[in-house]
Structure 1
Amino acid sequence: MTARSTRRTTATTRIAAVGAIAVAGTMLLTACGDQTKNNDSGSTKASTGASAGTSSPADLLPADIKSKGVIRVGSDIAYPPVEFKDKSGKTVGIDPDLGAALGKVLGVEFKFENGTFDTLVTGLRAKRYDIAMSAMTDSKERQEGIDPETKKKVGEGVDFVDYFTAGVSIYTKKGDDQGIKTWADLCGKKIAVQRNTVSHDLAKDESKKCAGGKKIAIEPYDTDLEAQTRIRSGGADAGSSDFPVAAYAVKTSGGGKDFQIVGDQVEAAPYGIAVAKGNDKLTQAIKAAMDEIIKNGEYDKIIAKWGVEAGAVTEAKVNGGS
């Protein structure tokens, strides 16, 4: 999902490419990696990492989730390598792996349910999901339920448990960058992006700055993969995604022959797990579980598995986005 605007805005992104992506990751603020095996859900046995006499992360869970043994996760499962379907149809990626690790600590299953990115927050409000985990950027606007374009309040907002850092990159067809190096170079050109992502917001903001009537023609799509298809066919001059997603597309699409990243990544910001306002117990349980897997080394193993070490964090934070 570039950093998705949700940054995935202020927005979304995604096997043998692990080594290549890891190298790319050292060049920029974040990275994104390769496909490897993944556990779809966590075990139902809680971690015993807490010392005697102290609460474990599992103890913090709301009673209804404990009784169900499941955390329903809203996710746009078309954003490799963050979350996507492998050739067998299995949900894999950075987020599913982290969800499985969190589930082991909390003693519940993280059940990923597919949805379009721009409906995940409303899905939380409607209680279709318990959390949203989908390369979603933590921003003050999202926390407060503010529309990033109109600046008007459109909802109650969400709380975030931040767990990764990612920036946004521009990419073009390989060997045909058309002089595009920065966002300003997109004036007078066409860009394909995922709808309601940071990339979408950045394109709209940049277009307002274009001189001489040379605005950016913006084509938004439901998924990042659809935007990639448009660029690959020559229907758009460039695309933009969270760096991990863009890097993965560059390394894997067409065997590495379809795309290239141009310029530097911008708008580095935290990815957050979104929780509906007022569900403080669940927020704190997830934060405690994330801190636990960071402490016990499982987090680093997963981040390294996907070649995205450059975006790793050393602690989970609540609402750390700006």
Structure 2
Amino acid sequence: MTASSTRRATALRSRIAAVGAVAVAGTLVLTGCGDQTKNSNSNPTGSSSAASAPLAAKLPASIRQAGVVKVGSDIAYAPVEFKDASGKTAGLDPDLADAMGKQLGVKFEFENGTFDALLTGIRSKRYDIAMSAMTDNKSRQNGVDPDTGKKVGEGVDFVDYLTAGVSIYTRKGDTGGIATWSDLCGKKLAVERGTVSEDLAKTETKKCTGGKKITIEAFDDDQQAQTRLRSGGADAASSDFPVAAYAVKTSGGGKDFQLVGDQVEAAPYGIAVSKENTQLRDALQAAVNALIKSGEYQKILTKWGAEDGASKESVINGGK
């Protein structure tokens, strides 16, 4: 989930058709973000043993011995991470984590949590990493509140692995004249708390004239924002493009929503790691780059309709 920073708006080609081709059959079984139940990734038995894993020696000894990387994630953000019809954690991030686990000889164990509390979970050592469609930006790297500019934590390092922008969507056939962020003045917008959608709305409403401000309704997870829009309680919603496109294609069999305007704020997704844990950070980067080199990375992105955001190489702290 992207977070705010000053970047050039970027319009990218729609991937609705590709996302739809891999829509999960049946109704998704979604968990509330406050649910802290642990869940393994989509293929928990797929990780190789440390003995046969090519990059196992790069991991910190404590994690190598435990055989598990504890992952904090908001598992209600399809198609990046979500619960499938059988209740298992599925999506782009879990698939990448599973493939990384085979390189490193460990399992990646996903634990559900609210998005805006994931970095706190790293600081408290509840999680080893956060992998949750999280945008790498300077505010998060430096532990600074983007609204106030004040220091709120130590910050984290990011292992970048994908690029994604932000989109607006409305009820199908009911755009209300909304095509850009400036068109939201005088409208109600549903977003997930702590994401760039909320931050962009806060920035945009300051530009509104004639007393027409954006009414921002922020929720704990994206599913709640979608429900608000679907029920008519908001004029539009906003989320990362892969998530918005997936919602447009799958909600109500494609009859509930439609995308409006272009993608903006293209930025890297990153795996968040404590700044103290540089060995784990570097091991994760090596695993991502191994997947890119082997072609497995491209296969996973294509499966989830995210190939337009593919990276040629994983970098550390590439966000602005």
TM-score (norm 2): 0.89
Which SS does the other structure have where 2:86 is aligned? coil
- Residue in 1 that maps onto 2:300: 302
> For the residues of structure 2 that align with 1:125 and 1:260, how far apart are their CA atoms?
38
Q: CA deviation at 1:26?
A: 4.0
> For the residues of structure 2 that align with 1:293 and 1:48, how far apart are their CA atoms?
16
What is the alpha-carbon root mean square deviation over aligned residues?
Answer: 1.8
> For the residues of structure 2 that align with 1:47 and 1:250, how far apart are their CA atoms?
44
- Residue in 2 that maps onto 1:269: 267
Which SS does the other structure have where 1:113 is aligned? strand
> For the residues of structure 2 that align with 1:193 and 1:57, how far apart are their CA atoms?
39
Higher mean C-alpha deviation, range 37-46 or range 239-248: 37-46
Q: CA deviation at 1:134?
A: 0.2
> For the residues of structure 1 that align with 2:50 and 2:200, how far apart are their CA atoms?
42
Please tell me whether the aligned partners of residues 165 and 313 of structure 1 are also in contact (alpha carbons under 8 angstroms): yes
Q: Which amino acid aligns with 2:304?
A: W
> For the residues of structure 2 that align with 1:145 and 1:246, how far apart are their CA atoms?
28
- Residue in 2 that maps onto 1:244: 242
Give the alignment of 1:69-108 within 5 angstroms.
Answer: 69-108=67-106
- Residue in 1 that maps onto 2:229: 231
- Residue in 2 that maps onto 1:286: 284
> For the residues of structure 2 that align with 1:297 and 1:207, how far apart are their CA atoms?
43
Q: Deviation string for 1:25-60 (max 9, x for gaps)? A: 84379x8563469424641325968xxxxxx53211
Which SS does the other structure have where 1:27 is aligned? coil
> For the residues of structure 1 that align with 2:215 and 2:303, how far apart are their CA atoms?
37
- Residue in 2 that maps onto 1:160: 158
Instruction: Kindly indicate whether residue 148 of structure 2 is the aligned counterpart of residue 150 of structure 1.
Output: yes
Task: Give the unaligned 5+ runs of structure 2.
Answer: 6-11, 26-41
Higher mean C-alpha deviation, range 301-310 or range 274-283: 301-310
Q: Deviation string for 1:123-172 (max 9, x for gaps)? A: 00000000000000000111000101001111110000000000000000
Please tell me whether the aligned partners of residues 138 and 271 of structure 1 are also in contact (alpha carbons under 8 angstroms): yes
Please tell me whether the aligned partners of residues 41 and 99 of structure 1 are also in contact (alpha carbons under 8 angstroms): no
Q: CA deviation at 1:314?
A: 1.1
Instruction: Select 1:220's aligned residue among 214, 218, 221.
Output: 218
Task: Give the unaligned 5+ runs of structure 1.
Answer: 11-24, 50-55
- Residue in 2 that maps onto 1:20: none
Which SS does the other structure have where 1:262 is aligned? strand
- Residue in 2 that maps onto 1:210: 208
- Cα gap change, 1:26/1:215 in structure 2, threshold over 3 Å: closer, same or farther? closer
- Residue in 2 that maps onto 1:197: 195
> For the residues of structure 2 that align with 1:225 and 1:289, how far apart are their CA atoms?
31
Which SS does the other structure have where 2:199 is aligned? helix
The share of aligned pairs that are identical, in percent, is: 67
Q: Deviation string for 1:168-195 (max 9, x for gaps)? A: 0000000000000000000000000000
Q: Which amino acid aligns with 2:249?
A: K
Which SS does the other structure have where 2:148 is aligned? coil
- Cα gap change, 1:28/1:35 in structure 2, threshold over 3 Å: closer, same or farther? closer
Please tell me whether the aligned partners of residues 42 and 110 of structure 1 are also in contact (alpha carbons under 8 angstroms): no
Q: Which amino acid aligns with 1:224?
A: D
- Cα gap change, 1:215/1:36 in structure 2, threshold over 3 Å: closer, same or farther? closer
Which SS does the other structure have where 1:317 is aligned? coil
Which SS does the other structure have where 2:288 is aligned? helix
Please tell me whether the aligned partners of residues 19 and 249 of structure 2 are also in contact (alpha carbons under 8 angstroms): no
The aligned length equals: 296
- Residue in 2 that maps onto 1:27: 14
Please tell me whether the aligned partners of residues 55 and 105 of structure 2 are also in contact (alpha carbons under 8 angstroms): no
Instruction: Kindly indicate whether residue 309 of structure 2 is the aligned counterpart of residue 321 of structure 1.
Output: no
Moved over 6 A (4+): none
Please tell me whether the aligned partners of residues 57 and 286 of structure 1 are also in contact (alpha carbons under 8 angstroms): no
Which SS does the other structure have where 1:318 is aligned? coil
Indicate the structure whose relative CO is greater, using CA pairs within 8 Å and at least 6 residues apart. Answer: 1
